[in-house]
Amino acid sequence: MKTPVRVAITGAAGQISYSLIFRVAAGDMLGKDQPVILQLLEIPPAMEALQGVVMELNDCAFPLVHGIITSDDPNVAFKDADFALLVGSRPRGPGMERSDLLKANGAIFTVQGKALNDNASKDVKVLVVGNPANTNCLIAMKNAPDLNPRNFTAMMRLDHNRSMSQIATKTDSHSTKVEKMVVWGNHSATQFPDIANATVDGAPVKDAVDNDWYVNEFIPTVQQRGAAIIKARGASSAASAASAAIDHMRDWALGSDGRWVSMGVFSKGNSYSIDEDLIYALPITCENGEWKEVTGLEIGEFQQKMMNATEEELKGEKEAVIDLI
């Protein structure tokens, strides 16, 4: 039996966590042979609801769960954490953009960045899910000067998975047959789901779909999918967001087997001339617990325009929270 690892999850009584925690506990994230100690963070008004979640976790009698800690203090929840999934923050409602949440949520990530810096394992792998995820991740990273910036990532995997699913449906194939999809930039309406290198059943996607569908249907559908779910469900995506978080962390920890994934990462040293002080989604492969940028892709005029637009938005978000970083 492996030694248990510590998995901290914030917003643990919320919608996403209600799916996420149970999947982590079942071994979907780190493997069926990896015991976990769950370290669950909430704010004081939600601690009672969190106790209900813990009762349900206990009632599952998960073989891999070797301890459950609950707290409203990030210094306790992040103590020696090997993995930290920062979910806790307000979701947007109808008619809002994710960046409208910066004022409400940004400050959460200064406190949590400091607490990670002071308490977590030096190798902690951090995934920011709470919106606006990229800029919240930048805030947390900047408030954790003793941790390697490479430890901080933002979730773009939901956008990546949404793209693969849309392509599979359009080409009458299956999402597992779609490879080399890239979603660049911000988890927002400016994100750029790019099919230039993507293949389906080994053949170029761009030969299988027409450009009009790509530009006028596919890209806006992926960009607006979060808003479409809010409109339909009356609440933001939760189970699919949890599933994407599981995919992101699993691949980072256990490897992506050469498959490309999209992750929001610190842009310093990137090979696509993107501003070097952002959390920007790039094409990534993961191996031996490390992520690596896919380099050397040719960038055409349309791609450059789309990549610049999402970069500009991220620069604007950063300016809006400059006092927090």
Ligand X SMILES: NC(=O)c1ccc[n+]([C@@H]2O[C@H](COP(=O)([O-])OP(=O)(O)OC[C@H]3O[C@@H](n4cnc5c(N)ncnc54)[C@H](O)[C@@H]3O)[C@@H](O)[C@H]2O)c1
By a kind-dependent CB cut-off of 5 to 8 A, residue 41 interacts, out of ligand LMR, ligand X, none, with ligand X
16: annotated binding-site residue? yes
The nearer residue to ligand LMR, 157 or 318, going by C-beta atoms, is 157
229 binds ligand LMR (CB under 6 A): yes
Is 162 annotated as belonging to a binding site?
yes
Residue nearest to ligand LMR (CB): 226
d(CA 267, CA 277) in angstroms, rounded, equals 6
Chain residues binding ligand X by CB under 6 A are 10-11, 13-16, 41-43, 46, 87-92, 108, 129-131, 133, 155, 158, 187, 236-238, 241
Q: How far is the CB of 226 from ligand LMR (least distance, A)?
A: 2
Output the smallest distance, CB 286 to ligand LMR, in A. 22
Binding mask 144-173 toward ligand LMR (x if CB under 6 A, else -) reads: --------------x---------------
Please indicate if the annotation marks 98 as binding a ligand.
yes
The C-alpha atoms of residue 245 and residue 35 are separated, in whole angstroms, by 18
- For residue 187, indicate whether it is catalytic: yes
Decide whether 66 or 90 has the Cβ nearer to ligand LMR: 90
Distances (CA, A) of 169 to 56, 135, 163, 173, 191: 36, 32, 10, 6, 21
310 belongs to the binding site for ligand LMR (CB under 6 A): no
Asked if 125 is part of the footprint of ligand LMR (rule: CB under 6 A), the reply reads no
229 binds, among ligand LMR, ligand X, none (CB under 5 to 8 A by kind): ligand LMR
CB closer to ligand X out of 13 and 286? 13
What is the per-residue binding string for ligand LMR in 34-73, x denoting contact by CB under 6 A? Answer: ----------------------------------------
Give the length of the chain: 325
Shortest reach from residue 98's CB to ligand LMR, in Å: 5
Binding-site member from 34, 71, 110, 131 for ligand LMR (CB under 6 A): 131
Minimum separation from the CB atom of position 183 to ligand LMR (A): 11
3-state secondary structure the chain: CCCCEEEEEECCCCHHHHHHHHHHHCCCCCCCCCCEEEEEECCHHHHHHHHHHHHHHHHHCCCCEEEEEEECCHHHHCCCCCEEEECCCCCCCCCCCHHHHHHHHHHHHHHHHHHHHHHCCCCCEEEECCCCHHHHHHHHHHCCCCCCHHHEEECCHHHHHHHHHHHHHHCCCCHHHEECCEEEECCCCCCEEECCCCEECCEEHHHHCCHHHHHHHHHHHHHCHHHHHHHHHCCCCCHHHHHHHHHHHHHHHHCCCCCCEEEEEECCCCCCCCCCCCEEEEEEEEECCEEEECCCCCCCHHHHHHHHHHHHHHHHHHHHCHHHC
Question: Is 112 one of the annotated binding-site residues?
Answer: yes
> Are 38 and 24 a contacting pair, CB within 8 Å?
yes
Q: Residue 248, interface with ligand LMR (CB under 6 A)? A: no
Least distance (Å) between residue 168 CB and ligand X: 20
Binding residues for ligand LMR, per CB under 6 A? 91-92, 98, 131, 158, 226-227, 229, 236-237
Binding-site entries for NAD(+): 11-17, 105, 112, 129-131
